[in-house]
Amino acid sequence: MGAADVVPGVSGGTMAFILGIYQRLLAAIRAFDLAALKLAATGRFAEAARYVDLVFLVTLFGGIALALAVFTRVIALPQLIVSHPQYVYALFFGLIGASTVVLLRGLGRINAMEWVALLGGAVAGGLIVTLVPTQTPETSWFVFIAGAIAISAMILPGISGSFILLVLQKYAYIFDAIGRLELSILIPFALGCMTGLIAFSRVLTWLMAHYYRYTLVAICGILVASMWKIWPFQERTYVTVRGKERLIDSSPVWPPELGLEACGAIALVVMGFATVWLLHVYANKRALAAA
């Protein structure tokens, strides 16, 4: 999830979906409520930890934090996106394409209203992924808001938190702050993320509980729309921000020739698709064995 969140156009929420932990993640975040505070306030820390699934959350967010550190300080993934975008996006294209197929296949027959929800999700996702970056302030209050919006996108499959930061002109600003550990920027951003995470997870959990199929098909629509943005072969426009090139716009194109570069990208698409499909088959076998 952390590696995906570094890549504009790829959602950490999509990775959670692919790995089968999405609903557990939403449930764990939603558990931070008055009951959890009451347990902690009365000294029943072990019960509070179990109530919010703390071991799962600490492990997960520890992995995300480690990935963010590695892919901003050790392996410059944002730079790989500039130098070899077709390979990075090809892998994620295969992953997301397979996850969409798996989700729709699991739903079975889709009725007319569900097709409307699917189309609505695709339209909403398309509008978001084609937004044009705009100028925004660098004050603490706006960094807080950017964090709340980006984390909400981050846990919604198909919408990239990094892309939202690009739209808000805060991608370079935040990731540079992570690389330099600038707490004056990271603290309001982290507080915004916590606020957005707690609030938006409740919305998604309610939707899953009351409109499960409609929510899933809408998410599939968003995933389909996101694939337009991460098609490996694009005409990409970059701007230089603080000495580094940042992607601001891209338009899908057909590869000009079936050379080594195109074949490598296609191989990574197939690898990504096969990885998700094999995980899906393995998970089904485990579920049948458990039953």
pLDDT for res 133: 59
DSSP, res 259: S
Determine, yes or no, domain membership for 269: no
Determine, yes or no, domain membership for 257: no
- Give 252 or 54, the one with higher predicted confidence: 54
Q: How confident is the model at residue 159 (pLDDT cuts 50, 70, 90)?
A: low
Q: How confident is the model at residue 188 (pLDDT cuts 50, 70, 90)?
A: very high
Determine, yes or no, domain membership for 126: yes
pLDDT for res 75: 67
pLDDT for res 82: 67
Q: What is the DSSP string of 124-192?
A: HHHHHHTPPP-----SHHHHHHHHHHHHHHHTSTT--HHHHHHHTT-HHHHHHHHHHT-HHHHHHHHHH
| pLDDT > 90? residue 59 | yes
Q: Which of 235, 279, 229 is nearest to 254 (CA)?
A: 235
- Gap between the Cα atoms of 135 and 175, Å rounded: 17
Region 112-124 average pLDDT: 90
The 10s digit of each residue's pLDDT in 63-96 is: 988 887 787 677 666 667 667 778 878 887 887 7
Range of the domain at 122: 2-84+102-250
Report the share of the chain in percent with pLDDT over 70.
84
Determine, yes or no, domain membership for 22: yes
Determine, yes or no, domain membership for 287: no
Q: How confident is the model at residue 202 (pLDDT cuts 50, 70, 90)?
A: confident
- Against a cut of 0.95, is the pTM above it? no
Averaged confidence pLDDT in the chain: 80
Determine, yes or no, domain membership for 265: no
Using the structure block, give the residue that is written with the tokens 């701007």. 239
| pLDDT > 60? residue 242 | no
pLDDT for res 250: 67
- Give 65 or 249, the one with higher predicted confidence: 65
Least confident of 35-39, 132-136, 181-185, 213-217: 132-136
Determine, yes or no, domain membership for 120: yes
Determine, yes or no, domain membership for 288: no
| pLDDT > 80? residue 14 | no
Q: How confident is the model at residue 240 (pLDDT cuts 50, 70, 90)?
A: low
Is residue 129 a contact partner of residue 229, using CB atoms and an 8 Å limit? Answer: yes
Split into its structural domains, the chain has a count of 1
